[in-house]
Structure 1
Amino acid sequence: MTATGAHQDAAGGPARGWLWWGRRRSAVLDVGLGLVSALECALEGIGFAERAAVPVPVGVLFGLSAGFVLVLRRRWPIVVVLVSIATTPAEMGYLMGIVGLYSLAASEVPRRITALLAGMSTVAVFLVTVVRLRQDVMQADVDQRDFDPSGWYVPVVSLFMTLGLNAPPVLFGLYIGARRRLMESLRERADSLEQELSLLADRAEQRAQWARQEERTRIAREMHDVVAHRVSLMVVHAAALQAVALKDPQKAVRNAALVGDMGRQALTELREMLGVLREEEAPSGGAPVPVPLAAVGRAAAAAAEAASEDGPCLDALEELVEQSRQAGVVVELMVLGEARAYAAAVEQTAYRVVQEALTNVHKHAAGAKVVVRLAHREAEVAMQVENGPSDAAVADAHLPSGGNGLVGMRERVHRLGGVFVSGPTDAGGFRVSAVLPSAAGE
């Protein structure tokens, strides 16, 4: 027998701990109904014993045994209904029949079995009611000339009495069963939605973690681009100043002035970046609030673009190259094609690629000759920075390297849909090339 919804626990699984009852009050209710039904059947068993010409204790014991079967209504509702049908000719077990039909209709028993048993119970009650009512009418003091009980009266009244006893518990049981199944379906859907929400939360956390990592990388790249180039030039000039301080005081003074200019520019860029970050931290209320990494990344990008008055652009390449020349590097700038304006993102990326490539020359190829090429094409702009082998006669400035410069350049170029290539040359130098679509960033 399939477990019915009536004896399932709150979690939807089989009941445990109270036999087939899920809760204590369910067990108390069923035992109470069983005792009431047993008492009813015991009292009705007295009349049955008189009609069947058997000892009264036998009828009472039979009624007690039959009525207490109602305790099993949650576990075996079919048994309860069958017992109620079997005791119907003995005119006992009305409570058991009503409650049994309700429990059967509310359970998970197939509907065809429920309809069959409900029909059998209806027929049994109808026949017993017809016989009993006919006997009562025949024994009553009624004028037979004006009223004939053998006609329509007995069947119609019996039918109404039978439907009044059987129809309400069946209909109410069907309603309760449908409602219980609906609640279980909604509970399952709620559990499913909870699992889906948990999965979505996990995915959102993964995306947030990925976004935080991306923003950390972006902040590091922006800081590197803004400060590393000028600091590298400062170190190169400081090394040159140390070398010529005693031999050529005038050149040492010029180098010292250049170092000062570079330091002031680096401090200005840092101040601008920190100023933007500080604005993100304390909007207007004065109390600092936690800054999301996305806001920090935007602030770093904004500060990077504000490194000069108009932000880094291709027009500033000549000044960038001149700074490297002042540091003692031989740099040749070649511009091919007709210069034109591009989107800010394209010009900034092109500028940063050339800037980082020159910074790498200062770090890794001291004294090497450098050629910077910028080509304006129809639908793209290309840049290339190529240096020869380092000059062994030039002292190495021993600049530290984080190893992230090329990675940052590649990420910048790929973000705009461009192509980035870097690697050593046959002559022993190094080449950095990038091509950016002119429509990118618009």
Structure 2
Amino acid sequence: MTTTGAHQDDATGRAGPWWWGRRRSAVLDVGLGVVSAAECALEGVRFSGSTGLPVPVGVVFGLVAGATLVLRRRWPIAVVLVAIAITPAEMGFLMAIVGLYTLAASEVPRRITGVLAGMALVGTLIVTAVRTEQDLSRGDFEPGMWFVPVVSVFMSLGVTAPPVLLGLYIGARRRLMESLQERADSLERELSLLADRAEERAEWARTEERTRIAREMHDVVAHRVSLMVVHAAALQAVAAKDPAKAVKNAALVGDMGRQALTELREMLGVLRTGDSVKPAAAAVPLAAIGAAAAAAAAASEEGPQLEDLEALVGQSRAAGMVVELLVDGESGAYAPEVEQTAYRVVQEALTNVHKHAPGAKVWVRLAHRGEEVAMQVENGPSDAGVADAGLPSGGNGLVGMRERVLGLGGVFVSGATEAGGFRVSAVLPHGAR
């Protein structure tokens, strides 16, 4: 039966000879074994004299019995049993004390420890009582009847109780330290997992922030620049024939460029608000900045609202597109992010018509339904007689619209119509302020 101390030594990784976990433990046990063997050998001389055995026999017996203390970490029960067995010979004082301590500190069941400690106590009590009676019979000192029991009890308790109690304390302390070490290792593993998850969340936040910025840039730039390209083409066509109209188109191009720059400046200003955010944990700074920027963008009153749809439609009309705007119901108190998303959906749908269906007629429908707001942009087939402006397409417009709408818990549907056109529909919850 190995002891807790031996297990603890094995955990250090510094292997010693045989069953010892460390060389220092081996040196200590061998030293104790040598001292115990010397003690028992000297006591064997006295034992030989009292029993009539040859002195060499008593010395050899003492050496062998005392040397068993070397095995205390490997077989603590055997060491204690040997110590109890040689108690009548008045040998093994050191072996009894160290053996009981090692037994109490080991992983041996407490029931066995109690039985062996009780046997050692009784054996020491009997031997002390007999020895004390013999010494009193040879001397002139005649104490009362209480003397022998009291001396025997004190001697037996002094030999057995202190090492057993100390061993129990040391064993409990070792087990507590092992438990705390295991808990610390478990916490370290949990912290490592949490750090990995925090890094994953930070990477997810970076991806979301990049996606949001790309979507905002697309919404702001694509529509304005598309209109500017359409007006530039018209300007080029009428510059020589109708100078007045060319001047008007040039003014529109300038206004749209300024509007695009203004919206870009507002968006960048919202993103810069994240610079003042100082998160408490260094693991998610980009997530905190992204959340702050998104919240600031949603709360910005300077962003596009539903009331700006008329101006948005007017810009497309000015570029030559035939647009019909239909509004149904009374406008409610919508949250800023709802109005901005509704505006961006209509804006992106009109931009797609400029890109992919030049000359087509467009119907923009907006319906206020109390608990939600619905919008629909539908265009007819493209007019083959209208020249294509050659606007590039990245294929991200519909994806961005869908992400915006679904992000607010809405519904988004898009697809071709039977008439050869295209329809974009979205429904958003009111998100009241």
Where on the TM-score scale, by shorter chain, does this alignment land: which range? over 0.9
Partner of 2:95: 96
Give the match's secondary structure for 1:271: helix
Q: Distance in 1 between matches of 2:407 and 2:255?
A: 33
Aligned pairs (5 A) from 1:137-152: 137-142=136-141, 147=143, 151-152=145-146
Give the root-mean-square deviation of aligned CA atoms.
2.3
Deviation at 1:23, TM superposition (A): 2.1
Structure 2 CA distance for partners of 1:270 and 1:330, relative to 1, 3 Å: same
Structure 2 CA distance for partners of 1:165 and 1:21, relative to 1, 3 Å: same
Aligned pairs (5 A) from 1:392-431: 392-431=384-423
Q: Which residue, 377, 385, 396 being the options, matches 2:369?
A: 377
Deviation at 1:60, TM superposition (A): 1.3
Q: Which residue, 352, 358, 382 being the options, matches 2:344?
A: 352
Aligned pairs (5 A) from 1:1-400: 1=1, 3-10=2-9, 12=11, 16-142=15-141, 147=143, 151-278=145-272, 280-281=274-275, 292=286, 294-295=288-289, 298-299=292-293, 302=296, 310-400=302-392
Tell me if structure 2 keeps the 8 A contact 1:234–1:263: yes
Tell me if structure 2 keeps the 8 A contact 1:212–1:294: no
Q: Distance in 2 between matches of 1:91 and 1:304?
A: 91
Q: Distance in 2 between matches of 1:324 and 1:255?
A: 12
Q: Distance in 2 between matches of 1:122 and 1:291?
A: 68
The runs of 5 or more residues in structure 2 that have no matched partner are 278-283
Tell me if structure 1 keeps the 8 A contact 2:32–2:70: yes
Tell me if structure 2 keeps the 8 A contact 1:34–1:68: yes
**C-alpha offsets along residues 15-72 of structure 1, whole Å, 9 cap, x if unaligned?**
7333222222222211111111111111111101111212212211211111111111
Deviation at 1:126, TM superposition (A): 1.2
Q: Distance in 2 between matches of 1:173 and 1:301?
A: 63
Q: Distance in 1 between matches of 2:347 and 2:66?
A: 97
Deviation at 1:259, TM superposition (A): 1.3
Structure 1 stretch 160-169 or stretch 190-199: which is displaced more?
190-199
Tell me if structure 1 keeps the 8 A contact 2:87–2:124: yes
Deviation at 1:94, TM superposition (A): 0.4
Give the match's secondary structure for 1:8: helix
Give the match's secondary structure for 1:375: strand
Structure 1 stretch 4-13 or stretch 364-373: which is displaced more?
4-13
Tell me if structure 2 keeps the 8 A contact 1:276–1:303: yes
Tell me if structure 2 keeps the 8 A contact 1:98–1:169: yes
Q: Distance in 1 between matches of 2:42 and 2:328?
A: 115
Deviation at 1:276, TM superposition (A): 4.4
TM-score (norm 1): 0.90
Give the match's secondary structure for 1:61: helix
The runs of 5 or more residues in structure 1 that have no matched partner are 284-289
Structure 2 CA distance for partners of 1:137 and 1:32, relative to 1, 3 Å: same
Q: Distance in 2 between matches of 1:196 and 1:21?
A: 33
Structure 2 CA distance for partners of 1:107 and 1:345, relative to 1, 3 Å: same
Amino acid at match of 2:210: R
Amino acid at match of 2:243: P
Q: Distance in 2 between matches of 1:217 and 1:303?
A: 14
Amino acid at match of 2:410: G
Deviation at 1:296, TM superposition (A): 5.4
Partner of 1:286: none
Structure 1 stretch 247-256 or stretch 292-301: which is displaced more?
292-301
Tell me if structure 2 keeps the 8 A contact 1:385–1:433: yes
Q: Distance in 1 between matches of 2:94 and 2:180?
A: 33
Amino acid at match of 2:18: L
Q: Distance in 2 between matches of 1:302 and 1:183?
A: 51
Tell me if structure 2 keeps the 8 A contact 1:272–1:303: no
Structure 2 CA distance for partners of 1:180 and 1:437, relative to 1, 3 Å: same
Amino acid at match of 2:123: A
Deviation at 1:339, TM superposition (A): 3.3
Tell me if structure 2 keeps the 8 A contact 1:219–1:296: no
Structure 1 stretch 334-343 or stretch 422-431: which is displaced more?
334-343
Amino acid at match of 1:378: G
Deviation at 1:5, TM superposition (A): 0.6
TM-score (norm 2): 0.92
Q: Distance in 2 between matches of 1:384 and 1:108?
A: 78
Q: Distance in 2 between matches of 1:296 and 1:15?
A: 51
Structure 2 CA distance for partners of 1:282 and 1:121, relative to 1, 3 Å: closer
Give the match's secondary structure for 1:292: helix
Aligned-pair identity (%): 74
Structure 1 stretch 8-17 or stretch 427-436: which is displaced more?
8-17
Give the match's secondary structure for 1:384: strand
Structure 1 stretch 58-67 or stretch 292-301: which is displaced more?
292-301
